[in-house]
Structure 1
Amino acid sequence: MLVVELRHLVYFVTVAEERNFTRAAQRLRVVQSGVSAAVRALERDLGASLFVRNSQRVTLTDAGAALLPAARATIDAAQSARDAVAEVHGGLRGTLRIGTLISVGFVDLPGLLGRFRAEHPAVDLRLRAAPTGSAGLAEDLLDGGLDVAFLSLSGRTPAGLSVRTLAAEPIVAVLPSAHPLATRDRLSLSDLADEPFVDSPPGYGNRTEVDRGFAAAGLRRRVALEVADIATVREYVRQGLGVALIPRFSVPDEPGLRILPVEARLRWTFAVATAATRTPSAALRALLALVDAFRR
């Protein structure tokens, strides 16, 4: 009978997330040799190499990639058991891994997490901004790397996610005030198809929605500049580097810009999402119960 130590799985998942044994050891607050020994022991138990190691970084083998979701699920199940006991004794414990977008103010996230920390000080909160937009956050939820995410999804909800919409905003056209189209009252996608665009990178919710809109209309466009922070898109537009289709909240009425409605019904949504396939921990349920109190 194969018996795998939970600690070995925790070390394996941490190395997989950090892609580095030294950073994993620092995060776990143990010596690097202990992490290496635990991973080697796990590889012996399973009869397979889990990582490809070189001097610069560590990558998962096919076996390691297959193990990662199952390892996270096992760790989550063990944490749920601890949470259940902790609830009986009157206190929440564990870790909440939270993903979020940059420059989105529909939830006062610092206030939300501050209240949560005051009420549940034994819960370890880990927050990270989306490195690859909402698509990356959704993927991390599905494979167990996150417990909850504040994100923007376009179209049908991905299978395996539970999503609650917190806000919805129309997507508007933003042009330099001197642009020839700036005299119009509204624009169609065909009006803009030949213009250079300033947009978010692929994987961001607003980019996905606009790409879907152009595809549905049978049109193509050219994205000249990709900007990860949606709040700065308008500054590139103001400088005449392109036009943009972005959520209304991200562009205040300012000199040098013309904001116009578009005939296509494009909308940006902001939501809180969790993995539908995993039972939420007591700590996660407590965090979700606070969200509405911090909506703006």
Structure 2
Amino acid sequence: MELRHLQHFVAVAEDQHFTRAAERLMVSQSGLSASIRALERELRAPLFVRTTRRVTLTEAGRALLVEAERILAQVRSAHEAVAAVQGVLRGTLAVGAEQCIAGVHVAGLLAGFRREHPDVEIRLRQSGSGALAEGVSAGRLDLAFAYRVPADGDQLRSVPLTSEPMTVLCHPEHRLAELGAVPDPAALAGEVFVDFHPDWGPRRATDAAFAAAGVRRTVALEVNDVHSLLDLVDENLGIAVVPRHFRHKRTSLTALPLKGVDEAAYETVALLPPERATSPAARALIALLGTPEAEPGEPG
């Protein structure tokens, strides 16, 4: 099995289109098709379902994609490790992050990294914490800044960044604004909630806090960006339970401490692969944080 066959396969899987993948790889479409056919013959299984508009992975293709991404990431790490020994840091740094993550200024951190390592290409992906953790485990990301997720010593480890309590945001004319503080999640029963998609860290933290309190809630207004959430609360269409630092993003809203939940309900971490699989670029970025790396298997 040749590495170029795996590279071609991953590109087609990502683009779901032979022509676009061929253009990105700068190879002929016929050559790309021949490469995929060779891989299918070797594995004795079809990897794609082809239509006139797109291609989709077969079950065998989905299984191969996980391993192919991991193999290519290891090969890339090997090249970068040799370059690092020679005193040159180059290659690619693939970073994942949630929106408005606490404990790290992502843009400033990446800017500092670029100044120190101009030969490294930086790629940034923004997504929910679950997807980011999966990306690090699969080798698609070198590291990610996310909400705490259970660490797997074989595939994932974490470096603690910060923790903070959850806060209720509401319109100044909302009935809760007169309280000064919300006693506990039970006091919010029956409220209309604005929140993020379930994979986002703040949503995970809020869901966990209400589940621990035995309080059911319904998210009526679900968004995928911070500004939309704040706009909806600002129009008095619902309330939001968010990490405390969100209160500074819209000072016109009333921020109320939420009692009766873990004071460290929202914890953020840097997610990394196991020590042996961590790229030199990822090590250099973590070093800029000034935070000691976690031991393999250390819970997030």
Regarding TM over 0.5, the answer is: yes
- Among 148, 159, 166, the residue aligned to 1:153: 148
Match in the other structure for 1:165: 160
Equivalent residue letter for 1:209: A
Determine if contact 2:230/2:250 at 8 Å carries over to the other structure. Answer: no
CA drift of 1:20 comes to 2.7
Other-structure match for 1:202: 198
The residue correspondences of 1:88-237 to structure 2 (distance < 5 A) are 88-104=85-101, 106-130=103-127, 133-153=128-148, 156-157=150-151, 160-187=155-182, 188-237=184-233
Give the RMSD, CA atoms, in angstroms.
2.3
CA contact (8 A) 1:253 1:259 kept: no
- The 8 Å contact of residues 234 and 251 in structure 1, kept in 2 or not, is answered as no
Shift of 1:255: 6.0
TM-score by length of 1: 0.88
What SS class does the counterpart of residue 252 from structure 1 fall into?
helix
Runs of 5+ unmatched residues, structure 2: 292-300
Question: Does the 8 Å contact 2:18/2:32 carry over to 1?
Answer: yes
Q: Number of paired residues?
A: 287
* Whole-Å separation in 2 of the counterparts to 1:124 and 1:38: 27
| Aligned match of 2:245 | 249
Superposed structure 1 runs of 4+ greater than 6 Å apart: none
Deviation per CA, 1:121-174: give whole Å up to 9, x if none.
3323221211xx1111112122222121111135x4456321112122211111
2: distance between equivalents of 1:89 and 1:237? 54
| Deviation (angstroms), 1:254 | 5.4
AA at the equivalent of 2:168: A
- What CA deviation, in whole Å up to 9, does each residue of 1:8-50 have, x standing for no partner? 1111122222333333233323333333222221111111111
Q: Out of 197-206 and 258-267, give the one that drifted further.
A: 258-267
> Match of 1:285, as an amino acid?
R
Q: Verify the 8 A CA contact 2:97 2:145 in the aligned structure 1.
A: yes
Residue 243 of structure 1 aligns to which amino acid in structure 2? I
After alignment, is 98-107 or 219-228 more displaced? 98-107
When structure 1 is superposed on structure 2, of 159-168 and 45-54 the one drifting more is: 159-168
1:172–1:247 contact (8 Å) kept in structure 2:
yes
Name the CA distance, whole Å, in 2 between partners of 1:105 and 1:206: 10
* Structure 2 residue matching 1:55: 3-state secondary structure: coil
Moved more, 28-37 or 207-216: 28-37
In the other structure, the counterpart of 1:35 is 32
CA distance in 2, matches of 1:162, 1:172: 28
Measure the CA separation in 2 of the matches of 1:254 and 1:99: 25
Whole-angstrom distance in 2 between the partners of 1:268 and 1:226: 19
Query: Shift of residue 85 of structure 1?
Result: 2.7
Shift of 1:277: 7.5
Q: How far apart, in 2, do the equivalents of 1:289 and 1:256 lie?
A: 38
3-state DSSP class of the match of 1:103?
A: coil
Asked if structure 1 preserves the Cα contact closer than 8 Å seen for 2:101 and 2:146, the reply is: no
In the aligned structure 2, how far is the partner of 1:111 from the partner of 1:214?
Answer: 34
Question: 1:232-291: per-residue Cα shift (whole Å, max 9, x none)?
Answer: 422211211111101111122856522111113252222211123851122222222123
Q: Report the secondary structure of 2:5's partner residue.
A: helix
Q: Could you report, residue by residue, the CA deviation over 1:197-239 in whole angstroms, capped at 9, with x for unpaired residues?
A: 0001111111111111222222211111111112442221121
2:285 corresponds to which residue? 287
* 1:84 Cα offset (Å): 3.3
**Secondary structure of residue in 2 paired with 1:220:** coil
TM-score (norm 2): 0.86
Q: Can you give the 5+ residue segments of structure 1 that lack an aligned partner in the other structure?
A: none
In the alignment, is the contact (CA less than 8 A) between 1:175 and 1:182 conserved in 2? yes
Alpha carbons of 1:126 and 1:26: their partners in 2 closer, same or farther (altered >3 Å)?
farther
Q: Secondary structure at the match of 2:267?
A: strand
